[in-house]
Amino acid sequence: MDKKGITGLLLIMAILFAWQYMNQPSPEELAEMKAKAQQEEAQLAQANTSEETKVIAPTEEFVEIKSLGTDSASLSKKDSLESVALVSKYGTLASSARGTQEYTTISTPIITAVFSNKGGRMVSVELNNYHTYDSLPLLLFTEDSTMLDFQFNYENRALKASDFYFDVEVIEPTAETASTVIIYRAYAGSNAKYIEQRYTLFPDEYMSKYAINFVGMNDVVAENNNSILMDWNMRALNKEKGMDLQRQKTTLFFRTSDGDTDYLSEGRDDEETLELNGQWISFKQQFFSVALVSNNSFKANTTTLTTKKLNSKDYVAQLSAKMDAELNNGGIAMDMYLGPNGYSMLKKYDIDLDHQIDLGWGIFGWVNRFIVIPVFNVLDGTGISYGIIILILTIFIKLLLSPITYKTYLSSAKMKVLKPEIEEINKKYKDGDNMKKQQAMMDLYKQTGVNPMAGCIPMLIQMPILYAMFRFFPAALELRQKPFLWADDLSAYDSIFDLGFAIPFYGDHISGFTLLMAISMVFYTRNNSQMSMGGGMGGAQEQQMKIMMWMMPIMMAVFLNSFAAGLTLYYFTSNMVTMAQQYVIKTFIIDEDKIHAKLQANKTNPKKKKGMFAKQLEKMTEAQQEAQNRQARRRNK
């Protein structure tokens, strides 16, 4: 980051701000976008709630219906004609194609589910122990925001479950069986032939069971080539404080038969067709999910998953899955997860549903799973405030990293005591050969045994934890709607002042914890830059460090303004603890005079063991000298 690099970065930021400002939509365009979004919502609602009817060409019988009166004979004739039409369309299932929609509510201690006999489907689920940011009942989905339907061929007819009214039976919990079972049946001409949908809800479990059975209808299996098409659509409801963060965290996850878990893009519309059989498919939001879990029943190459972001204040995204589901013994048995994205809640099922929680990839995820989450859970068991838990967790992590902090500071101290000698080399070769100056610097480092890169290595070791925390706090269900100081929700941004207008890349508010983090970062960077300047930086480099001292906190204040308050609280506390550690190390542990004496002693000890960096410096010096000699020989020729 030299002067040109910093100037270029500032120009890029200026261009981005100007582009954002120049390309923001006009009031007319905003009105048009709003109208289009409302039209899309209306179309989606109509698609989810309306029945798909088969268009029948007018016949003499249907024309006759219009002229019938209201006397009993006319109504009887009308019913007879309608029955003929239903039989023509639905065959032996015609008796189930007429009815009145009725609802059944099943409540457990943790969820309240509403079912409809129209299609035999679950139309809404409320989580009893949670509520939205606006203190409303938290609904995973509603009747007009979701549809789970299945299509099948029977008696040479293309039919779907939503065409029929199912008979309902509820089996209440008993002493032997704690679960509640609700059964829907659509009969095909006799009590021995029917389509059955069976839901099983457990008292303290977010995982329920769902089964589709074709009883006495073996020809269904033959006609459908041993599979049926399931059509699942859901408009994800707005549940949290920040819509932008919800859109980033809402997508469709799935696991295939090879055990790999994957997901569709979180930042844009996306579509994918499974190349392997699917084990489970999940409509995942920031803190809650609805998932269908099968035993490799979703067939490869014919199961298509789609996500589409919605420009709406009520809905986050449109998620859909068209699944070619394999029949087994005339039916399909699945589990259905209806609940929060708690890491321990999902982990216990041992099917990688917990991979939906964005803890980071590779080593970053390992840090969260094996260090951060266990420590957080221990602290959570004490019952103290979550803000205090974050402070204690921060101190614990900084103490864990204290050897690295010491090594970093020690490296800076060594560079500081070498400052006079480095300045002398800079002065000696001020107008001379840069190659010779570099060689003189490397000779100094080699003689004193100082590795100028030693301070970078500990910083790199800390990066996995910094990034792990960046992923952990926005995904931690435990922090959802938990207040601390002025923040009303540690899982969302905190606001000490609402601007009343939106600034591109920044938002429409000022986050208090982000502001504190930026201020602490100024002092932290200033403290580190003083140590670095003590290592022999020239005037231009010192000026660049001063620019970075202000630019980095400003950039972080803009970037993190809309992130979780728990995250910025952690970064603020981390900066303060690190500065306290550096003060203790400087005041009570490190003696710069002793370090200087030791470095000077190294110069007079030719037998001292060379470090890895010293060996590399020696090789680089020899290679550079050889290259210069070759160039000199070519010039002489």
Query: CATH no. for residue 291?
Result: 2.70.98.90
Q: Is the pLDDT of residue 535 over 50?
A: no
Q: Is the pLDDT of residue 306 over 90?
A: yes
Helices 434-448 and 612-636: crossing angle in degrees, nearest 10, is 150
- On whether the CB atoms of residues 317 and 305 are closer than 8 A, the answer is no
Q: Is 403 helix (H, G, I), strand (E, B) or coil?
A: helix
- On whether the CB atoms of residues 510 and 565 are closer than 8 A, the answer is no
Quick one: what percent of the chain has pLDDT higher than 90?
A: 31
What confidence tier does 622 reach under pLDDT thresholds 50, 70, 90? low
Number of domains, the chain: 3
Helices 3-22 and 539-559: crossing angle in degrees, nearest 10, is 30
What confidence tier does 196 reach under pLDDT thresholds 50, 70, 90? very high
Whether residues 248 and 272 fall in one domain: yes
pLDDT, position 54: 38
Closest by Cα among 407, 532, 399, 562 to 465: 399
Task: Answer whether residue 30 is part of any domain.
Answer: no
The values of phi and psi at residue 536, to 5°, are: 100, 20
Is the pTM here over 0.85, yes or no? no
Whether residues 227 and 180 fall in one domain: yes
Whether residues 399 and 328 fall in one domain: no
Least-confidence region, from 113-122, 336-345, 422-431: 422-431
Task: Answer whether residue 287 is part of any domain.
Answer: yes
Whether residues 311 and 288 fall in one domain: yes
The amino acid occupying position 386 is Y
What confidence tier does 205 reach under pLDDT thresholds 50, 70, 90? very high
* Average pLDDT of the chain, as a whole number: 80
Whether residues 330 and 478 fall in one domain: no
Quote the strand ranges of 16-110, DSSP E.
Answer: 103-107
Whether residues 378 and 333 fall in one domain: no
d(CA 93, CA 188) in angstroms, rounded, equals 4
- On whether the CB atoms of residues 81 and 64 are closer than 8 A, the answer is yes
**What DSSP character marks residue 171?**
E
d(CA 206, CA 341) in angstroms, rounded, equals 11
Whether residues 351 and 272 fall in one domain: yes
- Buried b / exposed e over 173-211, threshold 16 CB at 10 Å, is eeeeeebbbbbbbbbbeeeebbbbbbbbbbeebbbbbbe
Of 66, 92, 118, the position where a domain reaches its end is 92
d(CA 617, CA 615) in angstroms, rounded, equals 5
Task: Answer whether residue 23 is part of any domain.
Answer: no
What confidence tier does 402 reach under pLDDT thresholds 50, 70, 90? confident
Whether residues 333 and 414 fall in one domain: no
pLDDT, position 230: 92
Q: Dihedral (C-alpha) 288, 293, 299, 303: value to the nearest 10 degrees?
A: -20
pLDDT in tens, 116-141: 999 999 999 999 999 998 889 999 99
Domain that holds residue 61: 56-92
pLDDT in tens, 552-579: 888 888 888 888 899 999 999 988 998 8
pLDDT in tens, 58-99: 333 333 333 334 455 544 545 565 677 788 888 888 888 888
pLDDT, position 55: 36
Whether residues 107 and 78 fall in one domain: no
pLDDT in tens, 239-267: 998 788 888 889 999 999 988 999 998 87
Closest by Cα among 201, 226, 241 to 479: 241
